[in-house]
Amino acid sequence: MAWLRYLVYFIAIAFVTWALTALELASPGSLRLHVLVNPTDVYGTSEFSPVEIIQAIVLLACGGLMAWVAWCCPTQRPLAIPFGGLALAFLIRELDYFLDRYIADNFWQVVIAITGALVIAYTYRHRRRLRIALARLWPSPGLTLMFAGAVILFAFVRLVGHEPLWMSILGDDYRRVIKLAIEEFIELVGYFLWMIGTIEYALQARAIAYRPPQPAARRLRDKRRQDAAGRF
């Protein structure tokens, strides 16, 4: 039942958020949002934070679900593969610090460029099948939630987490850890929405894959009724 799933989403997100805040309150500095790796480090990093680790786990789960959809639901493969590639690009971006530190400087940019090029090439090559896959499930609550998460990750957090903004707001009281905390928690919200949308999309794709075939006339009639019901 949909309402039960959304209740589980709410409880899970509330519990994770409570656990993170309780951890920091019980032991200040436990979230490790501003770690100085060495004495010459000026800016510090938040890559060792539990918040960042949860973000990586969420992205791995989203990528795994998209891989499952691509494998088990062939009609949704042209849509699932680009979404899986996007989750992989997000994960590479979240691991940029470790890739630069332990492999090569700016290595993550090369990997993202390769991943993005492959996703764009696949999407362009299968653009007709992608439109068909999208038409089979639209309107989709899962894709709507994924879009909301993407808006937060691509637009909102980039603007609100902009360092000069917080330097202007806080003035002489500015501390970089404040900016990092706000940015990482907003990103976590976006990833939570992305994960819920991915789960809902996977369930919808599975329902479409295992749905009994319908005559073309009935499909067109149902689509017309759905379109008419969706108008304001």
Q: Where are the alpha helices (DSSP H) in 77-175?
A: 77-94, 96-102, 107-125, 127-137, 141-151, 157-160, 163-170
Find the mean pLDDT for residues 186-196.
90
Q: For 13-77, what is the HEC assignment?
A: HHHHHHHHHHHHHHCCCCCCCCECCCCCCCCCECCCCHHHHHHHHHHHHHHHHHHHHHHHCHHHH
Average pLDDT, the chain: 80
Q: Does the structure show a pLDDT above 50 at 232?
A: no
Residue spans per domain, the chain: 49-223
pLDDT tens across 21-69, in order? 888 888 887 887 777 666 666 566 667 788 888 888 988 998 888 888 8
pLDDT, greater one: 118 or 174: 118
Confidence (pLDDT) at 217:
47
Find the mean pLDDT for residues 127-143.
80
| Residue 34 near residue 177, CB atoms below 8 Å | yes
Cis peptide before 74 (omega within 30 of 0): no
User: Counting every residue, how long is the chain?
Assistant: 232
225: buried, middle or exposed (CB in 10 Å: 19+, 13-18, 0-12)?
exposed
pLDDT tens across 203-220, in order? 888 877 666 555 544 555
Find the mean pLDDT for residues 3-8.
86
195 pLDDT tier (thresholds 50, 70, 90): very high
